């Protein structure tokens, strides 16, 4: 008898959305398409849809995954987190984008169906997906934004933190996550200086051709914007587990949830 390895439908966008739809239906929530990317609808969940927009006093959490399609763990980590935290999902307003680049996920590419890295287009309202994204996000005052990514050069986990306050939360979050996948201890990651897995961004990197999601969210007034990176050459199941832990620990350390 052949022994089959544990199969994961990591790049099956339809299956991902099917599970999101099952979850939202079960919980009385609505996952809805908000834009079209090539042949595929792109989906969005507002866990308090139909209620007035969020004011400064309420908690509103932004989480997205699947901006880069060759980074497969984040969409599944986000889905599993939501499946296991339906109560929390309904207790606060969550703005969730389960997979912003469907073609990328399906084809295992960083770029979308046109060959564009959408994480350099978040400033550009001529981009139809971005314009529709912005119209959904901008009316709310999110307290925290989590952008979930992976790095094929990554030697462990790390995080980019944009924080209006001088203190950082990233180290405490990373400490929890490092129980699953160790920290990337490089002192220079890409072109940024890193300290035990934390890149504390105080200004925009030079020569950036267009703006990423996390920076645009920060510019829109989100006080803490965290971009998490897991190493995409590590085991998929551990990467999914660490992405899930990142969400749990971010909500806990940044917002006491
Ligand atoms: Zn990425």
Between the CA of 239 and the centroid of ligand 1 the distance, in Å, is 14
Between the CA of 149 and the centroid of ligand 1 the distance, in Å, is 4
Between the CA of 122 and the centroid of ligand 1 the distance, in Å, is 14
| CA–CA separation, 231 and 199 (whole Å) | 16
Between the CA of 230 and the centroid of ligand 1 the distance, in Å, is 10
Between the CA of 225 and the centroid of ligand 1 the distance, in Å, is 15
Low-confidence ranges of the chain (pLDDT < 50): none
Give the pLDDT score at 201.
86
Indicate the length of the chain as a whole number.
257
Give the pLDDT score at 57.
63
Give the domains, in start order, of the chain with CATH numbers: 13-255 (3.40.630.10)
Give the pLDDT score at 138.
94
Q: What are phi and psi of 98, to 5 degrees?
A: -65, -30
Between the CA of 151 and the centroid of ligand 1 the distance, in Å, is 6
Give the Å distances, CA to CA, from 217 to 66, 109, 147, 172, 176: 16, 24, 10, 22, 25
| CA–CA separation, 218 and 212 (whole Å) | 10
Give the pLDDT score at 6.
66
For residues 147 and 227, the answer to whether their CB atoms sit within 8 Å is yes
Between the CA of 6 and the centroid of ligand 1 the distance, in Å, is 25
Note the pLDDT tens digit of each residue in 126-135. Answer: 999 999 999 9
Say which DSSP state 37 is in.
E
Give the pLDDT score at 1.
58
Note the pLDDT tens digit of each residue in 72-122. Answer: 999 999 999 999 999 999 999 999 999 999 999 999 999 999 999 999 999
> Considering the entire predicted model, what is its pTM?
0.96
């Amino acid at each position: 008898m052949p022994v089959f390895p544990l199969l994961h439908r990591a790049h099956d966008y339809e299956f991902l959305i099917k599970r999101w739809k099952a979850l939202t239906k079960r919980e009385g929530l609505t996952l809805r398409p908000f834009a079209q990317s090539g042949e595929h609808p792109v989906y969005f969940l507002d866990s308090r849809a139909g209620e007035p927009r969020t004011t400064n006093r309420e908690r509103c959490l932004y989480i997205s995954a699947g901006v880069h399609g060759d980074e497969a763990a984040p969409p599944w980590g986000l889905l599993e987190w939501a499946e296991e935290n339906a109560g929390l999902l309904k207790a606060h307003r969550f703005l969730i984008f389960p997979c912003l680049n469907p073609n990328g996920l399906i084809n295992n590419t960083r770029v979308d169906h046109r060959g564009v890295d959408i994480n350099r287009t978040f400033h550009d309202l001529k981009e139809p997906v971005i314009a529709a994204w912005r119209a959904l996000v901008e009316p709310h005052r999110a307290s925290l934004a989590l952008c979930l990514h992976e790095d094929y050069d990554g030697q462990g986990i790390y995080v980019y933190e944009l924080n209006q306050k001088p203190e950082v939360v990233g180290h405490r979050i990373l400490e929890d996550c490092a129980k699953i996948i160790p920290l990337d201890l490089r002192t220079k990651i890409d072109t940024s200086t890193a300290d035990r897995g934390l890149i504390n961004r105080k200004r925009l990197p030079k020569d950036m051709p267009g703006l990423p999601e996390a920076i645009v969210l920060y510019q829109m007034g989100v006080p803490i914007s965290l971009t998490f990176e897991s190493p995409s050459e590590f085991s998929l199941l551990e990467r999914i587990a660490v992405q899930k832990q990142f969400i749990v620990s971010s909500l806990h350390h940044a917002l006491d949830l």
